[in-house]
Structure 1
Amino acid sequence: MLKALGQVLFTGLQVPKYTTVESKSKDYEIRTYEPSTWVSVTLKGTQGDAIMKEGFGRLFKYIQGDNDKKAKVDMTAPVTGRVEAGADPASESTFTVSFFIPKELQADTPKPNNPDLVIENRPEFTVFVRTYGGFTNDQTVQTEHLKLIESLRKDEVTFREEPYYRVGYDPPFKLANRRNEIWLLQ
């Protein structure tokens, strides 16, 4: 656990590889991510902040050794939350919270002991990315999601409104220079 906290506090974390494609706007970036492996848990609820925290906790146990190899897995970034919104604001949404698996374990990923966790092999994908700082919450996510949609519509870009991703790079105790993102699939 100390190694994971040390990585978050003092060194850069491994991130999935991507290339940036030229964008029509400064409001967003277009990225194409290489195929990669992630560990994920899917949860349902109406409060995204609480669901993300619960999912993070379950995934953190996995990287702390709750897997078939009892292996400690280095913390990576970002933590993604794939959101499939419910039929209306009062309905439950489906959240898939995921950690990127470090490169050295991509080919031989430890299997989760928790049956709710799955190893996910993501194929190459392209996303429109809106980056914003500060602490994030459900309201901020909704606002930034709508801003990204507005920018893409203004630029007459083809994109998928659902699902969307809420993405975070920083631990909750980092106070300054925080990085958050909203992703929409091309």
Structure 2
Amino acid sequence: MDESCCLNGGGGESQRLGHEQGIITLEDLESISEDQLSDSFTDTLGERELEEDEGQDRLLSYWQNVARGHRIEVSRDMAEPIQQLTSNNNGTHHRERVPFTLISRKEKCGDVLYETRYYDKAHWACITIAEDTYEQSVGYGFMKIMKYICQQNSSGIYLGMTIPILTIVHTDEENSIFSRAVTVAYYLPSNHQAQPPQPLDPDLVIEEWPATTVYTRIFTGATNETSLMSQSNTLAEILDFPGQYITDRFIVAGYTNPAATHRLNEIWFIQKH
């Protein structure tokens, strides 16, 4: 198993994060509606009549404009995946959740402080990528996974979205320095677990991750250097199991659109074996 792509994965070159994760993710592209697109596109480019067969170019242009604000270039070959995710957001596909077994939950005054969960072994599509900035690493990693979901696989089919999408953040032992190299991971839907379609992109790898126990805490809002450090430190302080989790990385689990006002995320710490 390539350890760079599993929950026990290795790190990369470290640097402090200088940008918020205003990233185009799978869910950004899937969540945009035609009405939102039309309004935003009209505001940006002025009113003009668009023919139905221009829809794909319209979507691509919209996301290229969004991406430039985050120093990410969306290439022409993203047009079809963007179109597929937008089309499949109309109720034809549901988002399958990664299954787990709840081991325990710690509460205080009715609030959940953290949960301990067991995730069985499963196949994930993952990529470890290091661009010039952390933001670019995550953005380009997501886009490569998006292509895999959208027919660029050995079966030539749309695989469907699963949640959460995981980002493994590599750090130093004190969580004070973040690596620009991140591992982005997508859980294969249950109907593809036995025989996962293979990626056409050689940078993507299908891994069977071993069964893993994680300590997880929910948080809302943006995922940037400040918020991730704060959330990871909070989880470390309230855990009843000091010294029983891996300290040179943690996981950000994303469930909702990063641009949403009430974004739902989780911080995961990996239990040591």
Bin of the TM-score, shorter chain as denominator length: 0.7 to 0.9
Instruction: Extract unaligned runs of 5+ from structure 1.
Output: none
* Residue 76 of structure 1, aligned match among 149, 162, 169: 162
Q: CA deviation at 1:66?
A: 1.2
2:229 maps to: 142
Q: CA deviation at 1:23?
A: 3.4
Judged with a 3 Å threshold, the aligned counterparts in structure 2 of structure 1 residues 54 and 15 are, in CA distance, closer, same or farther, namely: same
* Residue 133 of structure 1, aligned match among 216, 220, 234: 220
2:206 maps to: 119
Judged with a 3 Å threshold, the aligned counterparts in structure 2 of structure 1 residues 160 and 29 are, in CA distance, closer, same or farther, namely: same
User: Mean alpha-carbon deviation: is it higher for 139-148 or for 105-114?
Assistant: 139-148
Instruction: Extract unaligned runs of 5+ from structure 2.
Output: 1-80
Where in structure 2 are the equivalents of 1:1-186 lying within 5 Å?
A: 1=81, 4-5=85-86, 12-25=94-107, 26-44=112-130, 47-85=133-171, 92-152=179-239, 155-157=240-242, 158-173=244-259, 175-186=260-271
Distance 1:46 1:85 in 2: 17
Q: CA deviation at 1:9?
A: 7.2
Judged with a 3 Å threshold, the aligned counterparts in structure 2 of structure 1 residues 46 and 161 are, in CA distance, closer, same or farther, namely: farther
2:44 maps to: none
More strand per residue = 1
Distance 1:74 1:163 in 2: 28
The percentage of counterpart residues that share the same residue type is 28
Q: CA deviation at 1:132?
A: 0.7
Q: CA deviation at 1:18?
A: 0.4
SS in 2 for 1:27: strand
How many residues align? The count is 183
Distance 1:165 1:46 in 2: 21
Judged with a 3 Å threshold, the aligned counterparts in structure 2 of structure 1 residues 179 and 30 are, in CA distance, closer, same or farther, namely: same
Distance 1:102 1:108 in 2: 11
User: Mean alpha-carbon deviation: is it higher for 105-114 or for 24-33?
Assistant: 24-33
Q: CA deviation at 1:162?
A: 2.4
Distance 2:252 2:132 in 1: 15
Assess if the C-alpha contact under 8 Å between 1:84 and 1:164 holds in 2.
yes
Assess if the C-alpha contact under 8 Å between 1:45 and 1:93 holds in 2.
yes
Q: CA deviation at 1:15?
A: 1.4
Judged with a 3 Å threshold, the aligned counterparts in structure 2 of structure 1 residues 46 and 142 are, in CA distance, closer, same or farther, namely: farther
Assess if the C-alpha contact under 8 Å between 1:16 and 1:36 holds in 2.
no
Assess if the C-alpha contact under 8 Å between 1:36 and 1:123 holds in 2.
yes
Q: CA deviation at 1:142?
A: 1.7
Judged with a 3 Å threshold, the aligned counterparts in structure 2 of structure 1 residues 92 and 98 are, in CA distance, closer, same or farther, namely: same
User: Mean alpha-carbon deviation: is it higher for 157-166 or for 124-133?
Assistant: 157-166
Distance 2:90 2:261 in 1: 12
- Cα RMSD between the aligned structures? 2.5
Which deviations, in whole Å up to 9, do the C-alpha atoms of 1:58-109 show, x marking residues without a partner?
Answer: 1001111111222211011111011222589677443110111100011111
